[in-house]
Chain A
Amino acid sequence: MKIGVCLKQVPATDSPLKVKDAVTGVDLAGVKMQINPYDEFALEEALKLKDAKVATTVIVYTVGSADADARLKDAVARGADELVRIEDAGLADADSLGLARALAAAAKADGVGLLLCGKQAIDSDNAQVPAMIAELLGWAQATECDKLELSGSSFKAWVAAGGGARDVLSGALPAVVSTDKGINSPRSPSIKGVMASKKAKVDVRDLAALGLSAAAVAPKVQLSAWGAPAPRPQGRILQGSAAQVAKELVGLLRSEAKVI
């Protein structure tokens, strides 16, 4: 079985981002990029299935420009086999549904039997693409999965059910599974993998190659008026013995902050 992995590059989590202006949004010039942390779990799950000989080929998909290629090659260095990058001017302002249409078309064309995605990208924070792809392909879905078992063409997935509960889902492949923390510990690139990644080719596809028109991926969600979050009001440090500050704090929480 071929397993697909959706992978996005995002700003490194420790980068202090600045909003450039209200129209452009966040200034990404010179910002260090990394693989979206949740996508690392998706990739690792696919690589584990390859180690277990369930997957024959791991294909990594991304939407974006050539500056994402370094992240794709990082995936090869860890053990991925094929790289697909979808790039088209029609996707420049794409919303989640547009991205899902492009990724669904690519995964379908490649005959992928299981598509793994991180549960959300930590830049746009939409958490929509995986379930949208599942619907577009008519596949089963498992959202925010932290344990996955495959047996033949069926799967069992442990997913968040709210309030800390987990539902155990069972279904048949093909499926889209979005991965959460806890499902595995992502591996680092191997030396052999790093060598292989130098020669790795990226298969670049545009909308026409996917059989899609720009109109089909036109966005219905628009972002504007970017700004920075308001700074928090200056706080204060309580002084005195442990017993005094404990008492003073509870008084403040009650009378000043009114939260207890």
Chain B
Amino acid sequence: MGNGILVIAEHEGGVFKKSAAELVAKAKALGLGPVTALVIGHAGGAELGGFGADAVLTVTGGDTSRYSVATYVSAIQAAIAAVNPAAVFASAGAQARDGMPRLAARLGLGVGADVTELRLDGGALVGRRPLYAGKALADVRVSSSPAVFTLRANAFGVPASTGAAAPVSALAVSVSGALTKVVDREAPTSSVVDLTEADRIVSGGRSVASKDGYDKLIRPLAGAIGATPGASRACVDAGFAPHSHQVGQTGKVVNPSLYIAMGISGQIQHLAGMRTSKIIVAVNKDATAPIFQHATYGIVADMFEVGPLLQAELQAALAG
């Protein structure tokens, strides 16, 4: 049985993602022993001490500057060997969905996926997670040592940094067994954060009526508050927004503090992807649309009329 928690701290070009601080802080708050942050492809991370990291291990050099499954698995395997943690935490995003199952299969570990709560029960970690696209919840216990959990972004919150610095040391890793090579990277279509990590989202439905409608109504409204644009499946299937923008049971499951649904009816499959949003705003011209049963604030109106007014008000509020 190990001790403490190893947190995989993700960054983008040396800038830590919000989830890195979020996971470190949650790990510390659990009080299960020392929290070690593992940083792959960047030599820093002392600032994670401000959120509760007791030590930072960095893996650099070679091919580590961009994510690859071989590097990810080799680095975490080496870190587990070095610190013998009771648990490993990673953010439930693209990297962990690709790399964590491979690591788990290599070491024979169980993975509690996509937890939105974590607590200690008699010394053992217990996660709580949505299943069936959020139509049910269950506790998840992992009996392997270490126990692996992936944590849903924005579910735990980020406290203010205490300003403390954590000691940083390099971990030597020999990356082996690369079976694929990243031959190209296609940049994201926009510079905003991914839907799954976004704190604000503005989504459009099929009633945007065209790609032009989406680009002129939804994107600028999202842009006004630094939100990530999303879409219903009907909007995506009609070709008005790329499929990577789809929110829902067969799209992205999102967890922002603010979700604005523009002209979305609120079918069960769409709700499955966004029902845990803290605040839901719905704009729909049909007062009986099911989305209003889930909205914190509802506006019954033509979105083409309200959208630009809302955008102007938001811009004014954020400027003031």
**Is B297 in contact with A242, judged by CB distance below 8 angstroms?**
no
If the complex has contacts A97-B110, A260-B317, are A19 and B136 also in contact, measured as CB distance less than 8 A?
yes
Number of interface residues of B (CB under 8 A): 95
Chain B residues within an 8 Å CB radius of A249: 281, 297, 299, 310, 313
Residues of A within 8 A of B297 (CB): 235-236, 238, 249, 252-253, 257
Of B135, B280, B300, most buried by chain A (CB within 10 Å of CB) is B135
Q: Show 19 residue pairs from A and B whose CB-CB distance is below 8 angstroms, ordered by the A residue.
A: A13-B249, A125-B253, A131-B98, A141-B179, A142-B180, A163-B12, A163-B188, A163-B197, A166-B186, A168-B186, A182-B243, A228-B135, A228-B137, A229-B276, A237-B298, A237-B300, A249-B299, A259-B258, A259-B278
Question: Roughly how many angstroms separate A223 CA and B93 CA in the complex, as a whole number?
Answer: 22
User: Does chain B have a CB within 8 A of A110?
Assistant: no
> Chain B contacts of A182 at CB under 8 A?
243-244
- Mark B residues whose CB is within 8 Å of A: 12, 67, 69, 93-95, 97-102, 104-106, 108-114, 128, 130-144, 179-190, 193-194, 197, 200, 225, 243-244, 246, 249-251, 253, 257-258, 267-269, 272, 275-276, 278-281, 287, 292, 294-302, 305-306, 309-310, 312-314, 316-318
* A-side interface size class: 35 or more
Point out which of A14, A156, A181 has the most chain B C-beta atoms below 10 A from its C-beta.
A181
Interface string of A186-211 (1 = CB under 8 A from B): 00000000000000000000000000
Contact of B132 among A17, A164, A221 (CB under 8 A): A17
Taking a contact as CB atoms under 8 Å apart, the answer to whether A168 and B185 are in contact is yes
Is A235 within 8 A of B69, CB to CB? no
Name which of B97, B108, B137, B317 has the most chain A CB atoms within 10 A of its CB.
B97
| Complex Cα–Cα for A172 and B296 (A) | 51
Q: Which of B101, B136, B295 contacts A17 (CB 8 A)?
A: B136
Task: Report if A84 contacts B (CB, 8 A).
Answer: no
Name the B residues within 8 Å of A163 (CB-CB): 12, 94, 188, 193-194, 197
Closest 5 CB pairs of A and B: A220-B110, A164-B188, A162-B94, A171-B180, A140-B179
